[in-house]
Chain A
Amino acid sequence: MSDVDASPSTAIVWALARDVRVALRSKGELGVQLLFYVIVVSLFPLATSPSRELLATLGPGVLWTTALLASLLSLPRLFAADFGDGTLEQMALSPRPLAALVSGKIAAHWLTTGLPVVVMAPLLGAQYALVAPVLGTLTLSLLLGTPILSLLGAVGAALTLGARGGGSLLALLVLPLYAPVLIFGAGAVDAVRAGLSATPHLSLLGAGLLIALVAVPFAVAAAVRIALD
């Protein structure tokens, strides 16, 4: 049994493939999250005046805030199902590194919940009379920012495993952590609208993503082990 393959990459691929497969079998849940995003984004133009200027001002903030909420909506599912049915136990006891396994799970979470939000953004942004360069920056900022949401959210989801009222506790825990992502993400779009460069904001988002990518899997693995104890 010494030939057990404990390399992180196989573990990441294993968890990613399994979670994507499970997610595709329960398309309903994915649809609900995406539909929530589409509906909430579309409510703001209905509720406010239809002036182009106002909508263009509101748009980036609304899209970003809603992306945050949509991410939050899908977070409880990230670990709770595996925790409940004992799969998380088996992962923690397997010879594969737990940090790599949870990385794969987080990647699958982003692919199935974050990426659709990024893809829909240009379409939904059109409702807010945003012009092409602004839409482009918005999409790029979401592309860099939504993985951070999945990563930070995973820490919260792992920490609230097994806690009573985990869902609402998760929101309280994670939303403040999301704030910097929102500020830089929406800030990048505002910069472009003001005729400035979005590069500083996007660079900071990129740096944040790299830091989260390195640190989060270990934090999540530690939190999962505590939850199993």
Chain B
Amino acid sequence: MAADLLLEARGLAAQRGRATLFSGVDFSLRGGEALVVQGPNGSGKTTLLRIVAGLTMPSAGEVRLRGDAMRAFDAPLRNVVAFNGHAPALKDELSAFENLDAWTSLQGSPMSRDQIAASLDNVALSRRQRLPVRVLSQGQRRRIGLARLALCDRALWILDEPLTALDAEAIGMLGALLARHLAASGICIAASHQPLPLEDSRMKRLSLGEPS
């Protein structure tokens, strides 16, 4: 994993319709650091994460990766980002195993059957791995999302409300994943209303204000 990873935001601003969600957002993250984005509903947390992931263009400002300005869907960004958004990105018709198999090969890093089975075992879903995702609960779907993060070797994790629908055990799993990721010089940006299971020393905070 790239130890020299550097992610910067300069003067980011976003608009929805005529309303300005936020403006002048700056931050700089090195490998091993996490940014927690906080703010009331509608303050633009999801929009900010989508801008950093390269899904949305900011109305002003830029995102820089290793010093290079990135536009939406630029290849260098796509090669490092793992985005866990609101939508679980799971196919109801396929099983947990098949979903992970398809996802890892989409990301260009296909995994062996044993690796995928082990990742499902880590999130305590090994007994459900052959069932279609349709019959799994919200929390179990989110756990597949955790297994997905564990499988990918992406340096930049972008997590939108990662604690939603997770129980205490799964929050512990997320904490362990995050600790391992940051220890390996990864970067994590997360939006969350609840406190994240993260060491304070690695954490930066960003508060988005009331929509003006």
Q: How many Å lie between the Cα of A85 and that of B91 in the bound state?
A: 7
A40 to chain B, nearest CB (A): 27
Q: Is B55 part of the binding interface, using a Cβ–Cβ cutoff of 8 Å?
A: yes
Contacts of A21 in B (CB 8 A): 93-94, 98
Q: How many Å lie between the Cα of A14 and that of B107 in the bound state?
A: 11
Chain B residues bordering chain A, tally (CB within 8 A): 36
Contacts of A85 in B (CB 8 A): 87-92
* A228, B55: Cβ atoms closer than 8 Å: yes
Q: Is A22 part of the binding interface, using a Cβ–Cβ cutoff of 8 Å?
A: yes
Q: How many Å lie between the Cα of A22 and that of B107 in the bound state?
A: 19
Q: How many Å lie between the Cα of A91 and that of B87 in the bound state?
A: 13
With A4-B109, A25-B94, A225-B72 in contact, do A86 and B89 touch (Cβ < 8 Å)? Answer: yes
* B54, A93: Cβ atoms closer than 8 Å: yes
Q: Is B149 part of the binding interface, using a Cβ–Cβ cutoff of 8 Å?
A: no
B182 to chain A, nearest CB (A): 18
Within 8 A of A (CB), among B39-68: 53-57
Most-contacted residue by chain A among B2, B81, B85, B106 (CB, 10 A): B106
Q: How many Å lie between the Cα of A104 and that of B98 in the bound state?
A: 18
Q: Is A9 part of the binding interface, using a Cβ–Cβ cutoff of 8 Å?
A: no
Q: Which residue of B lies closest to A83 (CB)?
A: B87
Q: Is B17 part of the binding interface, using a Cβ–Cβ cutoff of 8 Å?
A: no
Q: Is A90 part of the binding interface, using a Cβ–Cβ cutoff of 8 Å?
A: yes
* B85, A86: Cβ atoms closer than 8 Å: yes
* A1, B90: Cβ atoms closer than 8 Å: no
Q: Which of A5, A87, A96 contacts B91 (CB 8 A)?
A: A87
* B88, A86: Cβ atoms closer than 8 Å: yes
A65 to chain B, nearest CB (A): 31
Q: How large is the interface on A (under 10, 10 to 19, 20 to 34, 35 or more residues)?
A: 20 to 34
* B73, A225: Cβ atoms closer than 8 Å: yes
* A91, B88: Cβ atoms closer than 8 Å: no
A87 to chain B, nearest CB (A): 5
B135 to chain A, nearest CB (A): 13
* A93, B78: Cβ atoms closer than 8 Å: yes
Q: Is B153 part of the binding interface, using a Cβ–Cβ cutoff of 8 Å?
A: yes
Q: How many Å lie between the Cα of A90 and that of B109 in the bound state?
A: 14
Q: Which of B55, B80, B85, B106 contacts A1 (CB 8 A)?
A: B80
Contacts of A89 in B (CB 8 A): 55, 83, 85, 87, 89
* A6, B91: Cβ atoms closer than 8 Å: no
Contacts of A86 in B (CB 8 A): 85-89
Q: How many Å lie between the Cα of A165 and that of B30 in the bound state?
A: 45
Q: How many Å lie between the Cα of A169 and that of B79 in the bound state?
A: 36
* B72, A90: Cβ atoms closer than 8 Å: no
B134 to chain A, nearest CB (A): 10
Q: Is A26 part of the binding interface, using a Cβ–Cβ cutoff of 8 Å?
A: yes
Within 8 A of B (CB), among A134-181: none
Q: Is A94 part of the binding interface, using a Cβ–Cβ cutoff of 8 Å?
A: yes
Q: How many Å lie between the Cα of A92 and that of B153 in the bound state?
A: 18
Residue positions of A touching B, CB distance < 8 A: 1-2, 4-6, 14, 18, 21-22, 25-26, 84-87, 89-96, 98, 225, 228-229
30 contacts between A and B (CB under 8 A): A1-B2, A1-B154, A4-B108, A4-B109, A6-B75, A6-B108, A14-B102, A14-B105, A14-B106, A22-B91, A85-B91, A85-B92, A86-B86, A86-B87, A86-B88, A86-B89, A89-B89, A90-B89, A90-B103, A92-B55, A93-B53, A93-B54, A93-B73, A93-B78, A93-B81, A94-B78, A94-B107, A95-B108, A96-B106, A228-B55
Sample of 11 more A-B contacts, CB < 8 Å, known A1-B154, A22-B93, A94-B107: A1-B155, A2-B79, A5-B108, A6-B75, A6-B108, A22-B94, A86-B85, A86-B86, A89-B87, A93-B81, A98-B73
